[in-house]
Structure 1
Amino acid sequence: MKLTYVLWIILIILFILPVIRNKLLIYQRIKLIKKLEKERNSRVITMIHRQEILSFIGIPFTRFINIEDSEQILRAIRSTPDEKPIDILLHTPGGLVLAAEQIAMAIKKHPAPVRVIVPHYAMSGGTLIALAADEIIMDKNAVLGPVDPQIGQYPAVSILKTASTKNKDELDDETLILADVASKAVHQLQNFLYLLLEDRMEKEVVNRVVKNLSSGKFTHDFPLNLDVLEELGIEVNTELPDEIYDLMELYPQPGWGRPSVYYVN
């Protein structure tokens, strides 16, 4: 009987400890976010997509930009006074175009300055959001990425290029439909980019950015580092507050077995 009680106690502890640990992390995040808001006199919003542990049994899941994210960020922006600047901490591989465009337009419409902070990477839809900001603040080794639309598992531009190399009679109906959807997707995204950038950059720079980021010049996962962004004419500030790195530490990437990286301060 005593052994049974001990086993139950162990199981309860195993269940409760991750909950307590998670609550502590959330408390530390909120405390640091409030400190940042006070120091920068801004509203701080975070959108951090890392692989997270789903439960105490250790099932991981990976997050992307989705409608729930856009709903939360739109709500946060809407509740921010017009005169209040906003800092958005962004760490994401991208995600749903609709959600990214909604967030980007909400950023563009906010009357006070909006700064997007990228400590590591903001790819695809994350780049779309960053381009909407009044200022992009990046770590010197952080990267953005191309925003060319993807149709299923293929880049829209590649579908169009492949379809253009053959006569229509040689293409099946599915390929023709994919090519039509791809054409619309590229056209729509380019129009959105122009709308996003036309009042923030010179026309020549806007054309260069749109052409390079949406036309398939780069693969979709190509890292746009500071040198590439400078060539495109995208201005970037590299002065990140130290608290940003501290905040990222509070979103730990779960490991399996031993950690992959060790270092000693």
Structure 2
Amino acid sequence: MFELLLILLLIYTLFPVIRHRQIASARFRAIRRLELSRKSRAITLIHRQETLSFLGIPFRSYIDIDDSEQILRAIRLTPDDMPIDLVLHTPGGLVLASEQIAEALNKHPAKVTVFVPHYAMSGGTMISLAADEIVMDENAVLGPVDPQLGRFPAASIIEVTKIKKADEISDNTLIMADIAKKAIRQVRNFVKQLLTPRMGEAKALEVAELLSGGHWTHDYPLGGKELKQLGLAVRFGLPREIYELMELYRQNPSRRPTVQYIPLPYQSNRRNNS
């Protein structure tokens, strides 16, 4: 009985590792299919909640320095005349890492295309602004890039200093407001720098101010039509390979599913009745 329990424990421990390697291999094959179909270097920046180890502990990930190091390395390994396709699915992350990635993409001589199958918020939007073209699903969204200081938007901290008198505000809040002004100015100038070659300095400044100035909540969804009105190079119609790739980045499977359906494409009612 003890040996049986030991074998079962070993299988229970090793199965997630084997499954993880199978999924990783399938992802590499899907990325390669995308590269061959588009004759490009394909890079993914996909943050989803996944299960690690046999304990099944989920964690959420964001754009960090490790991400920027890996993407910068991939860009360095790409010839100057080869296009880059970046698949983005992220809630955002560190401004430093996002700016590094955006700057490296902006400097790449060949065409850079960002694909957004679902959402690329905050730092993901900043990276998208560095692309020559943003290709989105019709229901996908980007978001504002206004800086956040801890739990609060930088613009809201500044707003407090406009409502209250200086002697009614704590020193800590005044210091945060000073930092907030610098943060907004830095992000606005960076976004303007990214957009100026594509839409001119005046329009780039207008868009940069709108995206970084705290005019919306940080999680406000900007759809493709709204982004087009801002003058961004957005089009709809993701390649089939992108959807196939995203199927390999499912959410934590250990939880009870909250969405279920038969995963098959249906024909129209007219054809079914015939």
What range describes the TM-score normalised by the shorter chain of this pair? over 0.9
Determine the structure 1 residue equivalent to 2:118: 120
Task: Could you tell me which runs of 5 or more consecutive residues in structure 2 were left unpaired when the two chains were aligned.
Answer: 265-274
Shift of 1:238: 0.9
Number of residue equivalences: 263
Q: Tell me, what secondary structure is at the counterpart of 1:39?
A: helix
Q: TM-score, normalised by structure 1?
A: 0.97
1:161 and 2:159 aligned:
yes
Aligned partners of 1:208 and 1:232 also within 8 Å: no
Determine the structure 2 residue equivalent to 1:34: 32
Counterparts of 2:46 and 2:113 in 1: how far apart (Å)? 16
Determine the structure 2 residue equivalent to 1:226: 224
Shift of 1:202: 3.0
Determine the structure 2 residue equivalent to 1:101: 99
Determine the structure 2 residue equivalent to 1:184: 182
Counterparts of 1:247 and 1:157 in 2: how far apart (Å)? 37
Determine the structure 2 residue equivalent to 1:88: 86
Q: Tell me, what secondary structure is at the counterpart of 1:75?
A: helix
Q: Write the mapping of 1:1-265 to structure 2, written as runs, cut at 5 A.
A: 3-264=1-262, 265=264
Q: Which moved more, 1:192-201 or 1:97-106?
A: 192-201
- Structure 1 residues 257 and 188: alpha-carbon distance in aligned structure 2, compared to 1, 3 A threshold: closer
Q: Once superposed, what is the RMSD of the aligned Cα atoms? A: 1.0
Q: Tell me, what secondary structure is at the counterpart of 2:113?
A: strand
Q: Which moved more, 1:225-234 or 1:154-163?
A: 225-234
Counterparts of 1:23 and 1:55 in 2: how far apart (Å)? 12
Q: Which amino acid aligns with 2:156?
A: S
Shift of 1:204: 4.2
Q: Tell me, what secondary structure is at the counterpart of 2:184?
A: helix
Counterparts of 1:112 and 1:69 in 2: how far apart (Å)? 22
Q: Deviation string for 1:40-99 (max 9, x for gaps)?
A: 000000010001112111100000000000000001001111111000000000000000
Aligned partners of 2:56 and 2:254 also within 8 Å: no
Q: Which moved more, 1:124-133 or 1:156-165?
A: 156-165
Shift of 1:208: 2.9
Q: Which amino acid aligns with 1:41?
A: K
- Structure 1 residues 257 and 84: alpha-carbon distance in aligned structure 2, compared to 1, 3 A threshold: closer
Q: Tell me, what secondary structure is at the counterpart of 1:89?
A: strand
Q: Deviation string for 1:107-149 (max 9, x for gaps)?
A: 0000111101100000000000000001101000000000000
Counterparts of 2:255 and 2:121 in 1: how far apart (Å)? 29
- Structure 1 residues 181 and 143: alpha-carbon distance in aligned structure 2, compared to 1, 3 A threshold: same
Aligned partners of 2:192 and 2:201 also within 8 Å: no
Q: Which moved more, 1:115-124 or 1:192-201?
A: 192-201
Counterparts of 1:160 and 1:113 in 2: how far apart (Å)? 39
Q: Tell me, what secondary structure is at the counterpart of 1:198?
A: helix
Q: Which moved more, 1:24-33 or 1:233-242?
A: 233-242
